[in-house]
Amino acid sequence: MKKKLTKYINQLSIILKPARSYKPVWKKYTNRTLRHYACIIAIAVSLMLGCTKQVSISQALYIKGDLVLGYQPKSNLVLKQSTPGKPKYPVIDVHTHFSSDLSPIFLLEKMDELGIRAIINLSGGYGAKLDRMLEKFSGYYPDRLIIFCNLDFSKIDDSDFSEQMVTFLSAAHAKGAKGLKIFKNLGLTLKDKTGQIVAIDDARLDPVWARAGKLGMPVLIHTADPVAFFKPTDRSNERLMQLKRHPDWSFYGAEFPKRETIIAQRNRVIARHPDTIFIGAHVGNSAEDLMAIGKLLDSYPNFYVDVAARVAELGRQPYTAREFLVKYQDRILFGTDRYPGKTIQPRYKIYYRFLQTQDEYFDYYDHPFPPTGEWKIYGVFLPDEVLEKIYFKNAERLLGLR
Ligand SMILES: [Zn+2]
């Protein structure tokens, strides 16, 4: 109980750190013991008010001497509320994850409800898991339930790793796997027997990228993560709340490579394998800097990006995002990082609203807390011919689905 209370007090101390403008007030409370006393009082008050739950999901502020707990301002704007239940064109979601326990009938039902023509499960795996996936989903409805395979990196220290993976890829392709997904551990946390992190442009992987190109299998690659995950988890971090909920998503510190280092490794691979299609997951994980990702798209015609889990980033910079989506309309793919029917964070309708409408200042999530940062988004009302490409035409072309 004591341990739990101390943890709660410590967390509250962090949440209660006021914004810069209230610094002079907070300075009175710089003494740690005093701060803890203040927190104990805050807990008592919040328990009395029955709002402890809100404290953890919203902001607490000091305004002059007054502590405002559970601050959740509601906008007074009266705005148009278009909520398209279906997309203007049937969607291909190139970025989903689901286990083989899911029923294909359930998926297809939800897909029809949401106007989704096809989905790609990026968690196809390898070995027996992949076989089951292919049999259960692609075997059932190959044009609508598409599976990408993954590499078995536990074999990275085998002297014939490259040959094993190339053979695996060809076999997976023959069985029906349409592409290869690389998870973010490559370049970030995956180590080999030397104790070094395996770089994305490690020579052992070159034959794999080359084979994927030969087989016409796109490589959807998740590299690095949002900028905030590589910065200190402090009051200036724009995803502080998210990192407090998922401390293991912070890659700040000497034990992790720099974000720029990993992204540079990926870019060298894309440059080295012009005949292989690479799809950078989550706007190539540079949604915070669309100019940078635009330059990459300019340099490498074999590079594409998906928008999965980055509507929050794109929607908070609607002018720049719209320009970007229009300019690179042939290279952008629709994705959500969820699956149709997933109850937590139902994202599809929010994506449709973002891409299609001119709605302003709306939530990019559908639950009590903002999953990433504390901001609202704006729709980018893409023209029909751009929507068509992003919703399905680009994916159709890359996957040979016509
Ligand atoms: Zn994903």
pLDDT digits (tens, 9 = 90+) for 3-13: 445 444 444 44
pLDDT tens-place string over residues 189-242: 999 999 999 999 999 999 999 999 999 999 999 999 999 999 999 989 999 989
Residue 46 CA to ligand 1 center (angstroms) comes to 37
Q: What is the DSSP string of 84-147?
A: -SS-SS-EEEEEE---TTS-HHHHHHHHHHHTEEEEEES---SHHHHHHHIIIIITT-TTTEEE
Quick one: what percent of the chain has pLDDT higher than 90?
Answer: 74
Nearest-angstrom CA–CA distance, 125 and 347: 24
> In this predicted structure, what is the pLDDT of residue 57?
54
> In this predicted structure, what is the pLDDT of residue 43?
54
Residue 111 CA to ligand 1 center (angstroms) comes to 18
Residue 221 CA to ligand 1 center (angstroms) comes to 9
Residues written for the chain: 402
pLDDT bucket at 374, cuts 50 / 70 / 90: confident
pLDDT at 52 over 50: no
Nearest-angstrom CA–CA distance, 44 and 38: 10
pLDDT at 74 over 90: no
Cα-Cα-Cα-Cα dihedral sign, residues 375, 14, 243, 68: negative
Residue 163 CA to ligand 1 center (angstroms) comes to 27
Residue 97 CA to ligand 1 center (angstroms) comes to 7
Nearest-angstrom CA–CA distance, 333 and 392: 8
CB count in 10 Å sphere of residue 121: 24
**What's the Cα-to-Cα distance from 113 to each of 90, 223, 256, 401, rounded to whole Å?**
11, 32, 42, 21
CB count in 10 Å sphere of residue 271: 14
> In this predicted structure, what is the pLDDT of residue 370?
79
Residue 299 CA to ligand 1 center (angstroms) comes to 25
Contact 9, 3 (CB under 8 A): no
Beta sheet of 91-96, edge-to-edge order: 91-96, 116-121, 145-149, 179-182, 219-221, 278-280, 303-306, 332-333
Residue 251 CA to ligand 1 center (angstroms) comes to 17
Nearest-angstrom CA–CA distance, 107 and 402: 21
> In this predicted structure, what is the pLDDT of residue 104?
96
**Amino acid present at 294:** G
Residue 236 CA to ligand 1 center (angstroms) comes to 27
Nearest-angstrom CA–CA distance, 85 and 281: 25
Q: Which domains does the chain have, with CATH numbers?
A: 2-71 (no CATH), 91-399 (3.20.20.140)
CB count in 10 Å sphere of residue 132: 15
> In this predicted structure, what is the pLDDT of residue 23?
41
- pTM for the full predicted model: 0.84
Which pair of tokens denotes residue 14? 């962090």
Residue 309 CA to ligand 1 center (angstroms) comes to 8
> In this predicted structure, what is the pLDDT of residue 241?
87
Residue 278 CA to ligand 1 center (angstroms) comes to 15
Residue 359 CA to ligand 1 center (angstroms) comes to 27
Residue 121 CA to ligand 1 center (angstroms) comes to 9
Quick one: what percent of the chain has pLDDT higher than 70?
Answer: 84
What's the whole-number mean pLDDT along residues 348-368? 93
pLDDT at 55 over 80: no
pLDDT bucket at 14, cuts 50 / 70 / 90: very low
Residue 184 CA to ligand 1 center (angstroms) comes to 9
pLDDT at 254 over 60: yes
Residue 3 CA to ligand 1 center (angstroms) comes to 35
| Coil, helix or strand at residue 220 | strand
Please give the helix or strand (H or E) that residue 24 lies within, else none.
helix 23-27
pLDDT at 90 over 60: yes
Residue 308 CA to ligand 1 center (angstroms) comes to 7
**What's the Cα-to-Cα distance from 208 to each of 48, 179, 346, 349, rounded to whole Å?**
60, 12, 35, 37
**Amino acid present at 60:** A
pLDDT at 29 over 90: no
Residue 183 CA to ligand 1 center (angstroms) comes to 8
Residue 220 CA to ligand 1 center (angstroms) comes to 10
pLDDT bucket at 54, cuts 50 / 70 / 90: very low
Residue 119 CA to ligand 1 center (angstroms) comes to 13
CA 96 from centroid of its chain's CA atoms: 11
391: which DSSP letter?
Answer: I
Residue 95 CA to ligand 1 center (angstroms) comes to 6
Q: Strands 59-63, 66-71: parallel, antiparallel or unpaired by DSSP?
A: antiparallel
Cα-Cα-Cα-Cα dihedral sign, residues 248, 251, 252, 256: positive
pLDDT bucket at 139, cuts 50 / 70 / 90: confident
pLDDT tens-place string over residues 310-320: 999 999 999 99
What's the whole-number mean pLDDT along residues 34-61? 54
Residue 233 CA to ligand 1 center (angstroms) comes to 23
Mean pLDDT of the chain: 88
| Coil, helix or strand at residue 323 | helix
Residue 336 CA to ligand 1 center (angstroms) comes to 8
Cα 360-366-369 angle, rounded to 5 deg: 100
Residue 352 CA to ligand 1 center (angstroms) comes to 19
Contact 286, 263 (CB under 8 A): yes
